Amino acid sequence: MTGDDRTYGFLITALATSAKDPGQILRSAIKKREEGAKVDIFLMGDGVYLIKKGHTGPAPEALAKAHELGCNILVSIDHLKAAGIPEDELPAGAKAVKSPCKEIAWKTMEEWDRTIIC
């Protein structure tokens, strides 16, 4: 891993629509990590459905690869509960975040050099 020493926050708030593609966002996060960047992937809103058991598509595999590469996977506990997804369904290495808005505000202002929202 060489090249990019910035820190990226990938905020996924939606499932796939004609305008938004979380699969593409996850591929971009993986690419940035492979280039040497520090990467956080934050799932909130409808984005938490990407970890729901039985979810089809590239997301579960991409999240696993991202974790293997060292990306931080953060999940809004409030949105997880609202979606009816038990906390024990979090993928390996994912961290439940109790105050997502506060966490995002802090990371956006103090930690992330770039923020990408889907």
* List of domains in the chain: 7-117 (3.40.1260.10)
For the segment 32-48, the average pLDDT, to the nearest whole number, is 94
Q: Mean pLDDT across the stretch 16-35?
A: 82
Q: How far apart are the first and last CA of the chain?
A: 25
Give the tens place of pLDDT for each residue, 54-107: 777 777 888 889 999 999 999 999 999 999 999 888 888 899 999 988 999 999
* 25, 116 contact by CB (below 8 A): yes
CB atoms under 10 Å from CB of 63, counted, come to 26
Quote the pTM value. 0.90
Q: In percent, how much of the chain has pLDDT > 70?
A: 94
CA distances from residue 117 to 29, 39, 87, 89 in whole angstroms, order as listed: 11, 13, 23, 24
